[in-house]
Amino acid sequence: MIRELVVPEDLHREAILIDAVCPLLDDLNLVDEYAAGGVDTVAPTLATLEGAAATLRKIGRWHKALRERDDLLLIRRSTDILRAKQQGKTGIIFHFQGPGPVEDCVDLVDAYKALGVNVMQLAYNVKNRLGDGCEERTDAGLSRFGLQVIERMNAVGMIVDCSHTGVQTTMDAIEYSKAPVIISHANAKAVHPSPRNISDQLIKAIAANGGTIGVVGFPAFVSAERRPSIDKFVDHIAHISNLVGIEHVTLGIDYYGGQSPYTSDAEALEIYEGLIACGMWSPAAYPAPPHHYPAGIETPRTMVELTKALLRRGFLPEDIRKIYGENLLQIYKTVWGE
């Protein structure tokens, strides 16, 4: 049997490609970087530890951009992603990397959903009102308030994301959520033992609840090398797919404004020291910059190189389409509706 020749550029162009974690888009103008690389839908980080007031200003800024730019489309339901692809627009998914914007008011979950927020993490590395982050000294589970927030997230159709979240808090979320729980961006500890990566046990638990795990490109989560190869990145995709099946692998590459080449080394160090000082990052998980993303996909502009690398590794075109978008589309359809 002769396998039909696959042209990587054609596959890349035809697939629905979703990057589910895009803090780089704190600069709205950089959405063009993703469009140039064939990324169809992106999820800018609208908040991490910020409260309601700061978050509302950022949401307002995005709604202004959506109003003024004809090349962007706010994603509220799963079919919006298909519509964005058909119309040649970039789909925008509002994503919180932490529940800070909810403050102590569960009713704000409804308010943010009405404004278009469709995914929210339960923690960002440290403890909050809902539960513990993955780098917290303790590993307590969900608080009573955390249970109330998940109940409202389920009710309004907001995806529960346990990236950066403690193990017990994640396991509690899986137990109590009536909808699939995802990890939008984390790599496999079995491939590289970063404190931010997750165990095979947790990968299996996410998959068993119908969720997905997004492979992330932040270099310290990929390998011990300061400039990891694209093959090291693919190692995480291969490990997770071999462990739980290709249907549970997605992309959350996590390009951010402090990485090379988007900032100078001096500016990157200033950003880094601020994140260390406020406790959001720890040196154990986040070594000092410069941060170079895997070779070949240093920026979103060259994402076709990932398609080539996956084909070289033996992934079939249908596997790649699942990783790139189809797996997340199934989650979106389940939680948001069509």
Strand 117-121 relative to strand 249-251: parallel, antiparallel, unpaired?
unpaired
What is the share, in percent, of the chain residues with pLDDT greater than 90? 98
Report domain extents, the chain. 8-336
121: pLDDT strictly greater than 50 = yes
Going by the DSSP 8-state scheme, the letter that residue 191 receives in this structure is T
Residue 180 to residues 131, 142, 146, Cα–Cα distance (Å): 18, 17, 16
Residue 98 near residue 131 (C-beta atoms within 8 A): no
3: pLDDT strictly greater than 70 = no
189: pLDDT strictly greater than 50 = yes
What is the share, in percent, of the chain residues with pLDDT greater than 70? 99
What's the chain's average pLDDT?
Answer: 97
pTM of the full structure: 0.97
Contacts of 243-246 with C-beta under 8 Å, sequence gap 24+, read: 243/188, 243/200, 243/203, 243/204, 243/207, 244/203, 244/204, 244/206, 244/207, 245/207, 246/319, 246/322, 246/323, 246/327
All residues at 6 or more sequence positions from 150 whose CB lies less than 8 Å from its CB, including other chains: 122, 142, 160, 173, 176, 177
Q: Give residue 4's pLDDT.
A: 66
Q: How confident is the model at residue 5 (pLDDT cuts 50, 70, 90)?
A: confident
Q: What is the mean pLDDT of residues 262-272?
A: 96
269: pLDDT strictly greater than 60 = yes
- 8-336 CATH: 3.20.20.140
* Dihedral in degrees, nearest 10, Cα atoms 292, 297, 299, 300: -150
CA angle 194, 198, 204 (to 5 degrees): 155
State pLDDT tens for residues 45-61.
999 999 999 999 999 99
Residue 205 near residue 171 (C-beta atoms within 8 A): yes
Q: Give residue 179's pLDDT.
A: 98
State pLDDT tens for residues 316-328.
999 999 999 999 9
Q: How far from each other are the two terminal CA atoms of the chain, in whole angstroms?
A: 39
Q: How confident is the model at residue 191 (pLDDT cuts 50, 70, 90)?
A: very high
Q: Give residue 1's pLDDT.
A: 39
